[in-house]
A = this chain, B = another copy of it.
């Protein structure tokens, strides 16, 4: 079944009449080998369609030139469905890794799983990128050990004081601020906020903190009764919005902590005969590809997945190389579309 016997560096050595380490060196274009020998060896290698066996190389050199991407999912989510924001990240990380000459090993993990962060231990990868860690508190516990062991990894997430490990994330506080600021400028004063309040979800916390700061800037009091818990998903946004409507509290706009939530919110509003943006304004968060195609198109806070992928890959490579590394945030940006209308 399998192909013919693959040529090895020994085979080439014989054919070229040189020693086998010389072959190895020649193929890496080492200047320690004379140009003539190099040429000869490389020619033969090409003719035989020789490829270095990466397992042998990795074993000997203790380096894999591979990055592992561990994607964690809330197990509650729909089986066959991946958060589109993560999908975008996945795309840009793959690209960035390729650009740096690293292979990318991808693995989905269930949060419930016994944590399978053995990629570096098993020498499958030189470093790890974590995406979507679930809840922050238990995640931190889990990675503290990794960090002490000197593993090379970076996490997509919030940057907080005294965190173990390396983090890269979006400036969620800024995003929350921009969203609320936009609505407040449009004249809204009673703005609902959809997003979980918990130490376990610092991103949401930060988005809400920005939300508060914007209110302070405008001298508008926060209406705490308009804050509803919701996770990333559409269902969650839908449910929270129903609760909001049924609460009977007055509101003219909703700031959602994710675009999926916003989709659910719009659906719920519509079912109650409320139109966006005529009756209620909506802002999302993420800028997933669907956002611009929604009806109405969704104003939202954009996370730059392209920059994020590159930042994650660069960070973990720096860590691998033993360079100085530091956690940092990427700016978020307001994208104005139709879902907020022209103001009150």
Interface residues of chain A, those whose CB is within 8 Å of chain B, are 1-4, 6, 49, 51-56, 58-59, 64, 66, 71, 80, 82, 84, 87-88, 90-92, 94-95, 98, 103-108, 118, 120-124, 149-152, 263, 289-290, 293-295, 305-306, 322
Instruction: Give min CB distance, A122 to chain B, whole Å.
Output: 4
Instruction: Give min CB distance, A108 to chain B, whole Å.
Output: 5
Chain B residues, Cβ within 8 Å of A90:
87, 90
Asked if A92 contacts B80 (CB within 8 A), the reply is yes
Instruction: Give min CB distance, A143 to chain B, whole Å.
Output: 14
Q: Which 7 A-B pairs have the closest CB atoms?
A: A295-B295, A51-B121, A55-B59, A55-B58, A1-B322, A290-B290, A51-B122
Please report the C-alpha to C-alpha distance between residue A322 and residue B71 in the assembled complex, in whole angstroms.
31
| Residue in chain B with minimal CB distance to A109 | B98
Asked if A122 contacts B52 (CB within 8 A), the reply is yes
Instruction: Give min CB distance, A295 to chain B, whole Å.
Output: 3
Please report the C-alpha to C-alpha distance between residue A121 and residue B120 in the assembled complex, in whole angstroms.
24
Asked if B84 contacts A289 (CB within 8 A), the reply is yes
| Residue in chain B with minimal CB distance to A146 | B3
Asked if A106 contacts B106 (CB within 8 A), the reply is yes
A–B pairs, 23, beta carbons within 8 Å: A1-B322, A2-B150, A3-B149, A3-B151, A4-B149, A51-B121, A53-B122, A53-B123, A54-B55, A55-B56, A55-B64, A56-B59, A80-B95, A80-B306, A84-B289, A87-B90, A90-B90, A94-B107, A95-B108, A98-B107, A104-B106, A263-B293, A295-B295
Asked if B51 contacts A118 (CB within 8 A), the reply is yes
Chain B residues, Cβ within 8 Å of A106:
94, 104-106
Please report the C-alpha to C-alpha distance between residue A9 and residue B106 in the assembled complex, in whole angstroms.
27
Chain B residues, Cβ within 8 Å of A6:
121
Additional A-B contact list (12), CB under 8 Å, known A53-B122, A54-B122: A1-B150, A1-B152, A51-B118, A53-B123, A54-B55, A55-B123, A80-B91, A80-B305, A104-B106, A289-B289, A289-B290, A293-B293
Chain B residues, Cβ within 8 Å of A123:
53-55
